[in-house]
Every structure is written in structure tokens, then in C-alpha cells.
Structure 1
Amino acid sequence: MAEVVKQVEAAAMVNQTDDAQRVIDGGGVEERENVGGEIDEENQKFSFKNFLWHGGSVYDAWFSCASNQVAQVLLTLPYSFSQMGMLSGLILQVFYGLLGSWTAYLISVLYVEYRSRREKEGASFKNHVIQWFEVLDGLLGPFWKGIGLGFNCTFLLFGSVIQLIACASNIYYINDHLDKRTWTYIFGACCATTVFIPSFHNYRIWSFLGLGMTTYTAWYLTIAALVHGQVPGVIHSGPKKLVLYFTGATNILYTFGGHAVTVEIMHAMWKPQKFKYIYLLATFYVFTLTLPSAAAVYWAFGDELLNHANAFSLLPRNGFRDAAVILMLIHQFITFGFACTPLYFVWEKVVGVHDTKSLCLRAVARLPVVIPIWFLAIIFPFFGPINSTVGAFLVSFTVYIIPTLAHMLTYRSAQARKNAAEKLPFFFPSWTVIYVFNAFIVMWVLVVGLGFGGWASMVNFIRQVNTFGLFAKCYQCKPPPAAPVH
């Protein structure tokens, strides 16, 4: 057998190290993917395996961003509208969606800056996935690395917890013979199989299917609510209490917080510098899903949603609803993988197996990551309120505050601005305007997101604990039938 191994120069940027080896065996060409998961787009030959498995184009990145941005939160947005009213719900969705797109842009700029500097120093990223905390370490030092690592990992941990809670909550509306806690046990075992997916490079078909599933669910919610019509005596009293208002606002802040996996999605691209506006375009599409569905369900059910965090619970059961539930379950499995994969990478680096090419060894090493996620989902099964709590204390920093401060500090000197790998976007005339805008984001999120949002979400979260208790067997389930009177 003749074996020829040659390195291919990646199309990502000048002097970028290729992360794939081409193995020629018996006249057939096989792409052997490494941990980093980058393959030269121009030299890649078509095969069915590559079509399903090797995704690194701008389209793959767009599908990944759009699919990851909205999952179970699609079902809690009507609940948020009932807390804060129709007008505030619509305005804040657009507001936080645009702010989130801007900070995702900042993260992409910092990634390109870090990679450009490191490659000029001769660094190679073969068999290595660059992550957000490494970007912060390379640009700002170990203190910022610790901050980024702590917030990012904690956010991804609870993001995975939320997906498990959502799986149990959704399946209950098809099969209520088992309580939600039992369903959490079952889906925890199912989601553990994501340890076998090597990197974001291998989510091509899953991202495509996931976005199709949320698209169906969003339009099912919209059409089903309009067909159902308003319930008799419907009341739209929101906003009625500050606690409810800021709890709902923080859930919307959480909605557009998929940034914890932005760097990993970029690193899986053949040309990462093309990522700059992908998140914004993905957000525009997400608006077509979240705005109509949340508004229609709130219009139909009004204040009834205050006691039903999951929109499925109020819609009549039929084949369309069951299909939406099943599709959301599959999508939540995919989103669980999205949230867990960066945690897998971090853990691999800790235990020293990140550079190995053995998928089985990496899968076994990843399993301990799933156990605390499983356990936390059983302790805090509060579908809806947990989103706001995570949004206030984790998304505020991970998505908005840390990226903006990191960008301001990285380019604080005239020399850094002059030698920036990415130039100013066309819609900002000067660095001064960018600094003012970034400072506004930091102050807004600190006061509204962390301050008022943190207060409101903790009050609401504690109320759920007092009402249902930790390890609640069936959160917001229908009461058991009354015993017959003799």
C-alpha cells in the first residue's frame, strides 16, 4: 500500500496551518479529520460522508449560529411576554438581538487578532481547537483567561442543564405516564451520547436539521395560536410587577446568548475571517421565528401564561403539536451537544487527551462532564425561571460585558489599533464611536441585566424553590385526580 501524506495550505489566512491530512489508499481518497476539524475547501473531494460530516463553510456556520441561538427558549418567550407585555417583549427582542450580534462580531475580531499574532510567531494549531479563554489569555493575559474560563464554562454547564430540563418538560406533554424527573434520567442518558461527536466541524447535518425543526415549531405555535383564537375573557395585564417585568426581560437577554460557542464555530470554518456578519444574519432569521410565535401565543392566552412557562402546555393536543414536541426534543439533543462540546474540549485539555486521534479515548474521557449536568437538572427542574437566572448572572458577563471590555482593552493603544488584523466596520466612522458604544453596552447590562434582572430572577427562582422544592418530581404538572367521595 502506497501512502502519501502531504500538508495543504488552508484558505483561512496567510500561513495558516492545515488541520487535515489526506490519506490516499488504493486509489480512493479519504479525509482524515483532526481535533481542530479544518479541511481545505478547495482540495476537498465530494463524498457522501463529507457532505454529512465535514462542514466548514459560511453556510455551515450560519446554520450552527441560527440553530444554536433558539431552542427551548422558543417555548418560554410567550411566558416572558405575559410578564412584561406585548410592546416591551417585541422591542427588547430586537434590542438584545442587535446587541448580541455586535458582541459576537467583537468576539470574531478578537479571534482573528489572536490567531494572526500567534501564527506570526510560528504557532501551529494542528490537533488543537482554539477556545475563547485562550483568546483572552493570548491578548490580555492569565487574569482574563481565568475570568473567561470561569464564566464560559459555568454558562455552558447550565445551558446544558436547561436543555435536559426542557426535554423532560416537552416529552411530558406527549406521555405523562412518567413524571418529569424520570424523563430527565432517561434523556440524560440519551444526551450523553454526544461525547462521540468530535467537534463543531461535524455538526453540519445536525445544524441544518435543527434549524428546520425550530422553524416548524415556531410556525406551528404561531398558526395554532391564531387558529385557536383568544380564550374567553382573556386578560393582557402585563407589565404588572417589576419582578415579573425584569424576569421576562432577562429571559429575552438569555435568548440571544449563544456566544459561548462562537469561537469554536469560527475555528471549524475553512475561512474564519468570513464569520464577521454571520451571527447578525442568523439573528435576522431568528426574529422571523421568535417574534410572531411569542406574540401570537400571548395574544391567544394572555395572563394564563404566567403559570405555564412552556407554551405547549396551553395548546390542544393533536398531531401537529405532537410533531412539534418530537422535533423540539431532537433539537434539544443537538443543542445539548452544542453547549457541551466546548466543555468537552476544556476537560480534554485538563486530562491531557485533547491531541489524541482516538475518538473512543476522547469519548470515555468526556463522560465525567455529563454527570454534574444530569444532577443539576434533577435538582433545579424549573423550566422558564432558570433561563432568567442564567441570563442575569452568566449571559450578562459571557455574552455582553466580557467581549466588549476585552475589545476595548485589546485596542486601547494607538499601535494596537493601527496594526489591527481587522479594520473598522464600515458603519462605525472612528474608534471613539466604538468605545462609546461598547461603554454603553457594559453600563446597560450591568444595571438592567445584572442589577434589576439579577434581583428579579433570584426572587422568582427562590419562589419556585419554596413552592415546588428542590428535586421537584414534576414541575408545573397537572394535579393528580381527586379521590372519589363515598
Structure 2
Amino acid sequence: MAEGDVKAASATKLAGGLDTEAEVNIEDFRGDSATDDISRQAMMKSLVDIEQKEEPASWNGILRKGWSGNGGSLSDAWLTSACAQIGQVMLALPHAISLMGLRAACVIIPCYTLFSMWTMHLLNALYVEYKARKMKEGSWVPGRAVQYYDVAGYLVGRWAGAFTLLITVISLFSTSIAQIVATSTGFYYIVPGVNKLYWALVWGGILTFFFSLIPSFRHFRVFNIIGLVGTAFTAVFIIVSAGKTGLQGEAFYLGPKNMQSFFLGTNIAQNAWGGHTMSFEVMDAMFRPSRYDSTYPLSYLFTYFVTVPHSILTQLAWPLSNAQQGNVFGVVPNNAARDVSIILMVIHECIAYAIYITPVFFMWEKLIGTHYKTNWIRLPSRLPVAFVVWLIALLFPFYDTINAIMGAFGNGFTAFVFPAVYHMWVYRSAEARAACLKPPPRWIGGWTGAFLINAMIASYFLTFGVGFGIWAALKNLVDNINKYSVFANCYQCADIVKTNSLTG
């Protein structure tokens, strides 16, 4: 069946489903009939969640349905979001706190977290708007992955879709590259006799030929659980190690060395709380995507417990080493628990690679026409993209620099600027606001409060997160290239060898 026939058949099926099953007239879900809060919310659930019939009622339902495959429940969304938010950031955030200074970090991290949760609400509202409009016009196609640039291009304009696509690819590529660099660095800590470039070749191959072939976000359940166990163990290990070493109170008052260091640190923090680039794919994989913004903040509870305490204690216990090392494993003592932690984090980084590279695969599949093909055709067609990521990881193996670039280029836009600006644009008219299926909560001041918050977030992150952040990240990249050259055999290896001599 041709793609156009698939779309037409799907649209007809959905339109029929709306009238017969949900008892909602598809022509009446916007306009005056949508202004009442209660009816609007009911219609929203009927429209956006109409396809989903298989949601498990609880964790018991997950157990009955198995640990992998077809996972689209709220619990699955929580697992994926929590797993994606941590990743390599858990290893880089202690160094970011050193770059910013602990006093500044204690203000910046909570603020960035609140901003992140708000902008995720905005993205969820835009997804609901996008899907509802698509269903009304009969062009919604179940099974076609909805992505960031799809929503931006449809709701805002083609120029917004094209620019969003560019920034999203940069962000997702950078995150995927960081996972390869992180895995090679982790194994160098365990086996320093083999250089990092070799480990990057090995792990890049493993990630390319195995983790690139996971079909969609409904197949990550078991991987996410394993990844979260690893991050929890690592957090406990570092906290215990810091307690044994002893805390230096004067480290609290250490500030950034210069402006470049400060913005490199804020870039990494921005990256830590800005994993929005793959949010639409996670929403789209859910049984009830309209509820994603209520699940996302819960993932932050876990993220906070496994990233912030250990990062602060690392700065207080080893301030001098933390200032020099972009990876926390270069700071903590060398012992068996550290090696176990490294192995668990390598597993987690493999999972994070799959989570962040999958949206790029979807884009590539749509471009070359394999997105609707069977898996034995679709999945191998992704390999050229994975090879490019692998090559760039070998070319620029600068861990902290990659995280900084990712925060400035990618997450500054996708997590903060785009959601705020696009939301204001889509709902700029009174008619659009009246017909909104997911309006801002009243406790922030309704639409007036939402627009003020959006304008503040867009202005701040466009100036400091993107502007100064890109300057600091690119300057750091040039400095590293001049010092280590491209295809560096062993970036910061001398410091790692020195760290391996420490026991505890």
C-alpha cells in the first residue's frame, strides 16, 4: 500500500473511532465548544489518547505484560525520562560545579530545573495541539514518529521546522558522541594499558551494531531499569567515598577562574536539565501522551537524588582534582567499588546512546523512505548515521567540551528558547488561547503569567545560555584541538594514570 493510502486509511479509521467510540464530534473540539475547562479536558483526552487501548493499570500490569516491548505506560515514560536525564551528565556535573563555583551552582541548578519542568509543560501542550489539529484535518498517521521539527514546522512555520531540525540534530549528535567518549574513558580507567582511541573504536562498534537497532521508545523498559540501577549505585559509591575522605568547608567559597570557565559550567548544567530533544518521541510512544508533563517532573526527583548530592560532595571532598577532571571517575579513589561503578555506568551510557540517537534515526528513515518498512529493512538503514557519530567521536574525544557544546548549541535552544517562543507564537491570538486544549495553570497567572515567564526564559537563555555559552564552548574546543590535536590517542590520560594510583 502506498504511503498516501496508508495516511488516508489511518485518518478515516481515526475519524470513525472518534465519532463511534469516544462520542466526540471531531469538528467541534475547537472554538466555543472548547472553552469550558471540563469539557475541554475531556475532549483532549478523547482526541489525543484515542488510539491507545493497551495501557497497563499499574506496575503489576507491566509485570504481566513483560519487561520489554510495547511499553507506553506512564511508568515507562518515567523510566525513559529519568534514564535520559542522567547519562554522562552524572559524570560531568561535579566538574561543572567546580567551573561555576559551588555558591553559584546552588542557585543555578534549582532555577534551571524549574525552568525545565515548565518548558516541558509547554512542549506537551504543543504536542496536544499538533495532534488534535492533525486529527481534525484527517492527516494524523498512527505509527509515524512525531518529532520536534514536525511540531515546530506545522504549528509555527517551515522556517521554524527547518531551524529546529538543524539544532535538534546537533544536540542529539553531540549527546550520542558523548556516550561513545564516556564509555571509552570509563574502560581506560580500568585498563589504562590500552589507549582511549582503541576503546572508542571498540565501544563505538558495539553501540553502532547493537544499540542502534532498537526499534523505538517502546522497547527500552528493561534497558532503562538496568541503567537506573547503575546510576543509583554510582551515586551511593561517590557519596560514601566523599564521606570517608572528609569534606573541606573552604571549597564552598571557591569561585570560577574566569568568565569562560563559568559559562562552560553553566553549559553543562544546562545540558543536565535540558533533555527535551527526544521528548516528543517519548510522548508519542505513550499510551496517554497528554499526561507526559505530569510524569516528567517525577523523573526529576530521581535525577536530583543521583546527580546533585554527589556532585556537591565531590567538590567539597576533592576540590583541586575536581577542577582538573571533566569526568568524576578521575577524582574518586581507585578501588573495586569504583570499577563496578564504571562498568554499570558504561552500560547506562550504552542505553543513553540508544535513547538519544533513535530520534536521529527516525529523521533519517523519513528522509530515505524506510520509516514505514519492516524492521529488517528499516533498522539496517540507520547504520550510515551511526557511522558518522562514531567517526566524530573518534575525531573530537574531548568529554567536557562535547558536553558544553551540547548544552549551548542544543539544549539552550531545544529545552528553553524554542518551547517559550513557539508557545507564545502559537497562542498569540485570543482565538487560539480560547481554543487551547491544554491552557496554562491558573496559579501562575493564566495566560498573562505564562507569557511573562516565557519571555523571561527566552531572553535569559538566548543571551547567556546560547550566546555566551557558544562562545565559551567553541573557545574550549579550539584550545583542546591545539593542545591534543584531532583523533587524540589519549585525552587527559596522564591525569587518569595519576588518579589510578590513589586507593581508598
Residue 164 of structure 2 corresponds to residue 148 of structure 1: yes
For residues 376-422 of structure 1, the C-alpha deviation after alignment (integer angstroms, 9 at most, x for no partner) is: 11111111122112211222112111111110000001110000111
1:39 to partner: Cα distance: 5.5
Contact residue 82 and residue 239 of structure 1 kept, 8 A? yes
Q: How does 1:144-293 map to 2 (within 5 A)?
A: 144-192=160-208, 193-229=210-246, 237-293=254-310
Q: Aligned residue for 1:135?
A: 151
Counterpart residue identity of residue 256, structure 2: P
**1:118 counterpart (111, 121, 134):** 134
Q: Aligned residue for 2:10?
A: none
Residue 97 of structure 2 corresponds to residue 65 of structure 1: no
Q: How does 1:449-468 map to 2 (within 5 A)?
A: 449-468=465-484
For residues 421-460 of structure 1, the C-alpha deviation after alignment (integer angstroms, 9 at most, x for no partner) is: 1122242222111111111011101121122222222222
1:62 to partner: Cα distance: 0.9
Contact residue 217 and residue 328 of structure 1 kept, 8 A? yes
SS at match of 2:75: helix
Contact residue 131 and residue 140 of structure 2 kept, 8 A? no
Change (3 A) 1:353 1:238: same
Determine what percentage of the aligned residue pairs are the same residue: 32
Contact residue 66 and residue 285 of structure 1 kept, 8 A? yes
Q: Aligned residue for 2:449?
A: 433
Residue 416 of structure 2 corresponds to residue 400 of structure 1: yes
- Structure 1, 412-421 or 205-214: larger mean CA deviation: 205-214
SS at match of 1:478: helix
Q: Aligned residue for 1:3?
A: none
Q: How does 1:318-337 map to 2 (within 5 A)?
A: 318-337=335-354
Contact residue 17 and residue 126 of structure 1 kept, 8 A? no
What is the TM-score with the length of structure 2 in the denominator? Answer: 0.85
Residue 58 of structure 2 corresponds to residue 40 of structure 1: no
**1:14 counterpart (24, 34, 46):** 46
Q: How does 1:68-87 map to 2 (within 5 A)?
A: 68-87=84-103
1:479 to partner: Cα distance: 7.1
1:178 to partner: Cα distance: 1.2
Alpha-carbon separation, structure 1, partners of 2:57 and 2:85: 31
1:42 to partner: Cα distance: 6.4
Q: Aligned residue for 2:438?
A: 422
The runs of 5 or more residues in structure 1 that have no matched partner are 1-6, 20-37, 482-486
Q: Aligned residue for 1:308?
A: 325
SS at match of 1:449: helix
Alpha-carbon separation, structure 2, partners of 1:206 and 1:290: 20
Alpha-carbon separation, structure 1, partners of 2:247 and 2:139: 61
SS at match of 2:318: helix
Alpha-carbon separation, structure 1, partners of 2:404 and 2:62: 44
Change (3 A) 1:196 1:435: same
**1:475 counterpart (463, 488, 491):** 491
Alpha-carbon separation, structure 1, partners of 2:47 and 2:463: 44
Change (3 A) 1:142 1:436: same
Alpha-carbon separation, structure 1, partners of 2:289 and 2:316: 42
- Structure 1, 69-78 or 425-434: larger mean CA deviation: 425-434
Contact residue 160 and residue 336 of structure 1 kept, 8 A? yes
Alpha-carbon separation, structure 2, partners of 1:105 and 1:73: 22
Contact residue 330 and residue 495 of structure 2 kept, 8 A? no
- Structure 1, 251-260 or 88-97: larger mean CA deviation: 88-97
1:54 to partner: Cα distance: 2.2
SS at match of 1:51: coil
Change (3 A) 1:479 1:83: closer
Alpha-carbon separation, structure 2, partners of 1:129 and 1:83: 38
1:16 to partner: Cα distance: 5.8
- Structure 1, 67-76 or 301-310: larger mean CA deviation: 301-310
Contact residue 103 and residue 399 of structure 1 kept, 8 A? yes
- Structure 1, 399-408 or 215-224: larger mean CA deviation: 215-224
Change (3 A) 1:50 1:428: same
Contact residue 75 and residue 312 of structure 1 kept, 8 A? yes
Change (3 A) 1:410 1:127: same
Counterpart residue identity of residue 407, structure 1: H
Residue 356 of structure 2 corresponds to residue 342 of structure 1: no
Alpha-carbon separation, structure 2, partners of 1:426 and 1:234: 42
Alpha-carbon separation, structure 1, partners of 2:447 and 2:140: 31
Change (3 A) 1:272 1:479: closer
**1:445 counterpart (438, 461, 473):** 461
**1:54 counterpart (59, 70, 81):** 70
Alpha-carbon separation, structure 1, partners of 2:53 and 2:145: 13
1:88 to partner: Cα distance: 1.2
Counterpart residue identity of residue 151, structure 1: I
Residue 138 of structure 2 corresponds to residue 106 of structure 1: no
Q: Aligned residue for 1:29?
A: none
For residues 184-220 of structure 1, the C-alpha deviation after alignment (integer angstroms, 9 at most, x for no partner) is: 1111111111232111011112122212211211221
Alpha-carbon separation, structure 2, partners of 1:154 and 1:235: 35
Alpha-carbon separation, structure 1, partners of 2:495 and 2:92: 21
Residue 122 of structure 2 corresponds to residue 90 of structure 1: no
Q: CA RMSD in A?
A: 2.6
Contact residue 71 and residue 335 of structure 1 kept, 8 A? yes
SS at match of 1:134: helix
Counterpart residue identity of residue 55, structure 2: E
SS at match of 1:260: coil
Counterpart residue identity of residue 182, structure 1: Y
Contact residue 237 and residue 303 of structure 1 kept, 8 A? no
- Structure 1, 459-468 or 380-389: larger mean CA deviation: 459-468
Q: Aligned residue for 2:25?
A: none
The runs of 5 or more residues in structure 2 that have no matched partner are 1-12, 23-43, 498-504
Alpha-carbon separation, structure 1, partners of 2:274 and 2:265: 15
